[in-house]
A and B are shown apart, each in its own frame.
Chain A
Amino acid sequence: MPGAGIPLLSAEPEFCVVSRRNDSLGSRWRWRVYASLCILSLGLALGFAALGAWMVLPYSALEMAVLYLAFRWIERHAADWERISVCGDRVIVERERAGTRTRREFNRYWTRVEVEEDAFNHSSRLKLWFAGQGVSFGDELPAGKRAIVARDLRRLLAAR
């Protein structure tokens, strides 16, 4: 559900964008898929072990351990979000990563918006600069949407 788990802003913002990864599978199905893979892989390995070829089993267990770590990482970051909002003279960037929430506030008049075109990685990155410090935003947004956010934000900051 969009916006679920994200705290409300204290004041009505002039501009607000929330960026979050689309958790297309969901926690319950994620572990069901994992269980199905465990049953398949470990079941085969146990079958071979019963026939005397027990060396399949450690590889299968190792593989399932790596898959568990991968799914666990996805699970920990499934609820990650970040929000950029402009309220009065403040630009607020909040984000939650693996349950840890951070908040940065910038002076609206001294904040610069840049889009780093990364030819190396064929991608772009939206970045806010304030007093020599940069903070990126919108890595989970589609490229087109990120460009629109950058354009709107730049107009808004330049309007004052």
Chain B
Amino acid sequence: MSSIPHDHAAGHGVDHEHAHHPGGIMRWITTTNHKDIGTLYLWFSFIMFLVGGVMALAIRAELFQPGLQLVEPEFFNQLNTVHGLVMIFGAIMPAAVGFANWQVPLMIGAPDMAFARMNNWSFWLLPFAAVLLLSSFIVPGGAASAGWTLYPPLSVQTGMGMDLTIFAVHIMGASSIMGSINIITTILNMRAPGMTMMKMPLFVWTWLITAYLLIAVMPVLAGAVTMLLTDRHFGTSFFNAAGGGDPVLFQHIFWFFGHPEVYIMILPSFGIVSTIIPAFARKPLFGYASMVYATGSIAILSFLVWAHHMFTVGMPAAGQVFFMYVTMLIAVPTAVKVFNWVATMWKGSMTFETPMLFAIGFIFMFTVGGFTGLVLSLVPVDIVLHDTYYVVAHFHYVLVAGSLFAFFGGIYYWLPKWSGRMYDETLGKWHFWTSFVFFNITFFPMHFLGLAGMPRRVPDYATQFTDWNEVASIGAFGFGLSQLIFLYAVLKAIRSGPPAPARPWEGSDTLDIRDPAAGELKRIYLKRNERLMMEHATRRERPVPAQRGANMRTALILLSIAVVLFGGVIAAGYSGGSTAGIGVLGFAIIGFLLVAILRNVRR
């Protein structure tokens, strides 16, 4: 991926003297430019996404029918474990850092990241970690098979694949810490004149808070896996019950890292969606300050809910009630965000290009994932649903349709600026619709499977679960193939896409899209909101454009999908009134969103 040179004016009438730089692979190994490193992060994360995706397809192929068909149970457990680790540490987190590398300096008007060389090291640690993690498949005993949570006693007892996994996690943690230190120092110290904290784009805010979370919890993960290592090889008994240790202590430590980790993966996505929606609704983000405070509230609450992952482990009733209510409390700032995204669309001049489709898809499906999270926060329900496919459905709605869809939207949104070329809108829409449909075919039936009692992490299952497993497996292969459309669309854009205009999305008003010019920074940020309001007021007077019909059609399709989705949640409520109630509530909120869309398609 190349980028647009930002300094065209400097080139005219000048004797150029090109600096000597290494070519080929050395160019990428030695680069300290934030854009190059962002590109490296994004390609790395996409490759890891494909690797983790192939593992997922192997899992789904095995689960297509009951009985053991393709893989041994031990290997199935290894696939499950490494799939989770690869997707979390290899795909989602590096992709978020890739976006930060590309966009944060551009959005705050900084020349580069604060520590460019450390930025290079942060990235180049990752491929080594990935090799360590994946090579664990070929060592005696195979890869780690204790699940991505690495719970003892399994993780204390398994072969050397677990050691490689521990080292890989260490290295990826070090990379994350260096990245977050770089991001914090850049955002805090290198903003352009006039850009106060409360004028920063929301993407920058979400990344600042994410970096705080990373700084807080990465040592916890590092400590936890080091104690696992010493339990395995150096005779300690932190978690080894045989030596007087406590396996439950590991679960507390792990989830103290693990729950903020969920927000580390989702907050940058909130930032991306908060950038895309105002651009295509052609309105400033509704409730900017409340979005900032909601993000901060989510981050603080994320430290107080870890034990909701452990309701079945055993804890005092008072503890269960505390963690249940605090978990439910997270719905409040999250709802503020969903409300603000909807309110941003309300009476906006909306169009539905691919980034906007992914952003709306994100809101729909993240909301589904959020509501199923609420279901799981209820102690009595969680005790029934714990370790079932309902949980698998829940976190895939949050992390795939949440994080991943936002990243897809972000890539389509910024690709014209990154590559200087426009992507093919038709291909982008195909990618969205196939991903959206196949994702739901894959993961929505898992709610039914979980409610009916199918446990997760099993290679075989009772025959009554066959139908929905078949549907889910077909959906998974469709979803996997859909990503090839994405790869083709990106490569086609980079190689032969039509040149992108300097400002590809006229509704966008962040520095990165506006191509900053000297002296303009201060004015942009001091006058941004007022001017946008005026532009919006003027735009409302425009006549109805011809594309209204197409937008109505898009909105109606989205409405139909919402009806099916939430109708399904309600139908699935046969096992408990709370599920049905939350389904109804979700239906009402998404209905509100759709009314906003229907009322405000571009006119």
Contacts and interface: CB of A to CB of B under 8 A. Distances in A.
Given A70-B185, A117-B7, A123-B7, A48 B215 contact: no
B334 interface: no
A103 interface: no
Interface stretch (A7-15, A16-24, A92-100): A16-24
A36 to B, nearest CB: 9
A35 interface: no
Contacts of A142: 109, 111, 192, 516-518, 521
Given A56-B223, A145-B519, A74 B189 contact: yes
B14 A63 contact: no
A147 B10 contact: yes
B7 A24 contact: no
Contacts of B519: 144-145
Nearest to A139: B111
Given A53-B224, A59-B223, A121 B33 contact: yes
Interface in A25-60: 25, 29-30, 33, 37, 40-41, 44-45, 48, 51-53, 55-60
A21 B190 contact: yes
Interface in B221-270: 222-224, 226-227, 230, 238, 246, 249, 252-253, 256
Contacts of A121: 21, 31-33, 36
A151 B11 CA distance: 10
A84 interface: no
Interface residues of A, number: 59
A122 B518 contact: no
Interface in B188-231: 188-193, 195, 212, 215-220, 222-224, 226-227, 230
B253 A117 contact: no
Contacts of B21: 118, 120-121
B15 interface: yes
Contact of A41 (B17, B33, B215): B215
Contacts of B215: 37, 40-41, 63, 67
A48 B32 CA distance: 37
A53 B15 CA distance: 62
Interface string B415-454: 0000000000000000000000000000000000000000
B19 interface: yes
A112 B111 CA distance: 25
A24 B195 contact: yes
Contacts of B178: 66
A150 interface: yes
Contact of B188 (A24, A114, A123, A141): A24
Contacts, number: 186
B158 to A, nearest CB: 20
Interface in A113-139: 114-125, 127, 139
B5 interface: yes
A144 B9 contact: yes
Instruction: Select the residue from B2, B219, B253 with max chain A CB neighbours within 10 A.
Output: B219
Contacts of B189: 23-25, 30, 74, 78
Nearest to B11: A117
Nearest to B20: A120
B209 to A, nearest CB: 12
B495 interface: no
A38 B182 CA distance: 16
Contact of A116 (B17, B190, B249): B17
B156 to A, nearest CB: 15
Given A41-B216, A48-B253, A71 B223 contact: no
Contacts of A73: 115
Contacts of A56: 219-220, 222-224, 253
Contact of A119 (B18, B184, B216): B18
A44 B216 contact: yes
Nearest to A125: B19
Instruction: Select the residue from A30, A33, A59 with max chain B CB neighbours within 10 A.
Output: A59
A21 to B, nearest CB: 7
A66 B4 CA distance: 34
Interface in B13-64: 13-19, 21, 27, 31-33, 35-36
Instruction: Select the residue from B35, B223, B253 with max chain A CB neighbours within 10 A.
Output: B223
B357 interface: no
B4 to A, nearest CB: 8
B518 A53 contact: no
| 8 residue pairs, one from A and one from B, having the closest CB atoms | A56-B223, A145-B518, A147-B10, A59-B219, A24-B191, A144-B518, A120-B21, A60-B219
30 contacts: A22-B193, A24-B190, A25-B189, A30-B188, A33-B188, A40-B215, A40-B216, A44-B219, A48-B223, A53-B249, A55-B224, A56-B219, A57-B223, A60-B223, A66-B181, A67-B215, A78-B189, A115-B7, A118-B21, A119-B5, A120-B21, A120-B33, A122-B6, A124-B5, A124-B10, A142-B111, A143-B10, A144-B516, A147-B7, A150-B14
Given A41-B219, A45-B220, A117-B5, 17 more contacts: A24-B191, A24-B192, A24-B193, A44-B217, A53-B253, A55-B224, A58-B223, A59-B223, A63-B218, A70-B182, A70-B185, A74-B189, A116-B18, A121-B36, A145-B519, A146-B7, A150-B10
Interface of B: 2-7, 9-11, 13-19, 21, 27, 31-33, 35-36, 109, 111, 114-115, 177-178, 181-182, 184-185, 188-193, 195, 212, 215-220, 222-224, 226-227, 230, 238, 246, 249, 252-253, 256, 516-521
